[in-house]
Amino acid sequence: MKILALVSSYRRKGNTAQVVGLLEAQMRVLAAQQDEALEFETVNLARQDIQTCRGCRICFNKGEALCPLKDDLLALKQKVEVADVLILASPVYVDDVNGVMKNWIDRMAFVCHRPEFAGKLAFTMATSGASPTQHATRTLNAALQSWGFYIVGNTGFKTGAYMRQAAIGEKFQSKIEKAARKLYSAMNGQRHQNPTFLALMTFRIQQIGWNKAARKDTPDYDYWHGNGWLNERVEYFFPHQAGPVKVGAARLVGSMLAGFFT
Ligand SMILES: Cc1cc2nc3c(=O)[nH]c(=O)nc-3n(C[C@H](O)[C@H](O)[C@H](O)COP(=O)(O)O)c2cc1C
């Protein structure tokens, strides 16, 4: 199993990098107990050359390969493609993710249209001085959900301005162990094959939207068509184990909401 963690703080040894380091250590303990191999790579997003989106829409209309910004975005996306699990970790800046993380999410916006990560697992984390971290993790979850990820969970850490690793370990060890257990069991389970109501509903809204698309000569339409997802009988990105009542209700609500979005 391959885990990729993207940390968006400029502070290489800041609070966010430290909690991710502790999570990695705990994941390695769990893997060793099961005698399983685990690859865990952490990339500091702030040290990547990811320029700000210019809003030209070329990625949507012609494909991301033609983006005029020549930087590290596509190489980093390849890392996400080959990982089984993506962890996003951001410090809270003014009640949300920091600009580095938001900028990366914006540059990846074309994946909302072509959700190629369907079925992969994700976990989100945020650290803050003192305020709640939910707004930041919601931002991360919303992006990942629209890219097709199954969100295993999210967690937040109130670390103050700077907390030493020993103190973080002392204060948050049980929280980190809990997060690691949750992620590890999801990696070894089939939970992603039971998509949530929200995921099923979002799929339905997108399915209706792309079926109604005025232009059929776009990478987005090709992508949905090529994957067979425009067929009305297809309920999700891949064969799933969600119950018929949940699927039926999600598709009904999705069909109703699609009128507002499409
Ligand atoms: C520009 C800036 C804005 C911040 N805004 C908030 C905030 O709104 N709420 C909060 O609790 N902490 C805030 N913080 C504190 C950080 O979220 C907190 O110290 C975080 O753990 C830093 O993580 P890092 O060491 O990985 O950079 C802010 C810090 C900075 C530098």
Task: For residues 150 and 99, state if they share a domain.
Answer: yes
The preferred substitution site among 13, 15, 42, 92 for testing ligand 1, maximizing ligand atoms within 8 Å of CB, is 92
Give per-residue burial for 60-73: e unless 16+ CB within 10 Å, then b: beebbeebebeebb
* Ramachandran assignment for 249, one of left (phi > 0), alpha (psi -120 to 50 degrees), beta (any other): alpha
Q: What is the pLDDT of residue 260?
A: 85
| Residue from 186, 178, 45 nearest 120 by CA | 186
For 199-232, the pLDDT digits (tens) are 999 999 999 999 999 889 999 999 999 999 999 9
Task: For residues 179 and 216, state if they share a domain.
Answer: no
Task: For residues 90 and 201, state if they share a domain.
Answer: no
CA 60 vs CA 113, 178, 220: distances in Å: 7, 39, 7
User: For position 27, which CATH number holds?
Assistant: 3.40.50.360
Boundary-marking domain end, from 190, 223, 248: 190
Distance 128 CA to ligand 1 centre (A): 5
Boundary-marking domain end, from 161, 190, 219: 190
Q: What is the pLDDT of residue 177?
A: 98
Task: For residues 83 and 150, state if they share a domain.
Answer: yes
Task: For residues 75 and 29, state if they share a domain.
Answer: yes
Q: What is the pLDDT of residue 262?
A: 67
Which stretches in the chain have pLDDT values below 50?
none
Q: What is the pLDDT of residue 106?
A: 98
Residue whose CA lies nearest to ligand 1 atom number 7: 94
Task: For residues 41 and 134, state if they share a domain.
Answer: yes
| Residue from 79, 74, 78 nearest 2 by CA | 79
Domain residues for 198?
Answer: 194-261
Task: For residues 41 and 74, state if they share a domain.
Answer: yes
Instruction: Decide: 251 and 204 in contact? Cβ < 8 Å.
Output: yes
Task: For residues 92 and 186, state if they share a domain.
Answer: yes
Task: For residues 126 and 76, state if they share a domain.
Answer: yes
For 14-34, the pLDDT digits (tens) are 999 999 999 999 999 999 999
> How many distinct structural domains can be found in the chain?
2
Task: For residues 66 and 168, state if they share a domain.
Answer: yes
Task: For residues 175 and 199, state if they share a domain.
Answer: no
Task: For residues 35 and 104, state if they share a domain.
Answer: yes
Chain centre distance of CA 162: 26
Pocket of ligand 1 (CB under 6 A): 9, 11, 14-17, 91-95, 127-131, 159, 161
Boundary-marking domain end, from 169, 190, 211: 190
